[in-house]
Amino acid sequence: MTNLSVNINKVATLRNARGENVPDVVKFAVDCEKYGADGITVHPRPDQRHITYEDVRKLRKVVTTEFNIEGFPSKEFIDLVVEVKPTQVTLVPDLPGALTSSEGWDTVVNKDVLKRICDLLRSEGIRSSIFVDPRGEMIAGASNVGADRVELYTKPYADMFSQDREFAIAPYIEAATLAREAGLGLNAGHDLNLDNLGYFAEMIPWLDEVSIGHALISDALYYGIEETIRRYKSELR
């Protein structure tokens, strides 16, 4: 079954709105694991508008499932992940100030920097994943720089799903097949939700992991976090 990694950035956003420690991000992560999450994802940004570097250090001490840290590979970010050694680092091309991830890496143009970082992560015992659009040349580029996995950027799929799900999934099946042939592990994320997740996982059954935050945390406002995790994992079955 595809693993579910819960992105808890939005929990930190809510906490930061009051400048105190409610909700407690660390306790929330532990509870997500207790309720069945297969991993915890965070994306610390330079402006610390949600997850902070100190949150990352605290979470490393308590997360017992897979710990995935996303981010742009600035010097500060790389220093942090080498320090805390998560299970996986997902490299995203977001520059400082970006609202959210809106495209994948050009793994051809950025091959030198990505190779250097993937080599470093491997030397530290950290799995590398590169956030990419579902395009063959980007998959090949990720393989060429030595990445362990790719994470497919799924917003275009989510945007098209209600209109024509077969058309929406087609480039992702092709990209996922190329990734498998190249020996790459396969993750996916961005705008996946209870409506479109099941079909995505059904059509790409070798999908290793999905990382979901905004939709999952929003659903938890209605269902509660335990029931929400149960529903998402049910879609992945």
| Residue 101 CB neighbours (<10 A) | 19
Q: Say if residues 41 and 65 touch (Cβ distance below 8 Å).
A: no
Q: Say if residues 6 and 216 touch (Cβ distance below 8 Å).
A: yes
Choice among 33, 70, 151, 209 that is catalytic: 70
Q: Supply the DSSP string of 56-110, one letter for each residue.
A: HHHHHHH--SEEEEEE---HHHHHHHHHH--SEEEE--PPTT-SS--S---TTTT
Residue 36 makes CB contacts below 8 A (sequence gap 6+) with 4, 229, 230, 233
Told to judge if 174 belongs to the known catalytic residues of this protein, a careful annotator would answer no
Cis? peptide before 93, omega within 30° of 0: no
Told to judge if 43 belongs to the known catalytic residues of this protein, a careful annotator would answer yes
* Strands annotated E in 133-178: 149-153
Choice among 33, 43, 50, 209 that is catalytic: 43
Phi, psi of 103 (to 5 degrees): -170, 165
Choice among 50, 66, 190, 235 that is catalytic: 190
- Which residues are tagged catalytic? 43, 70, 190
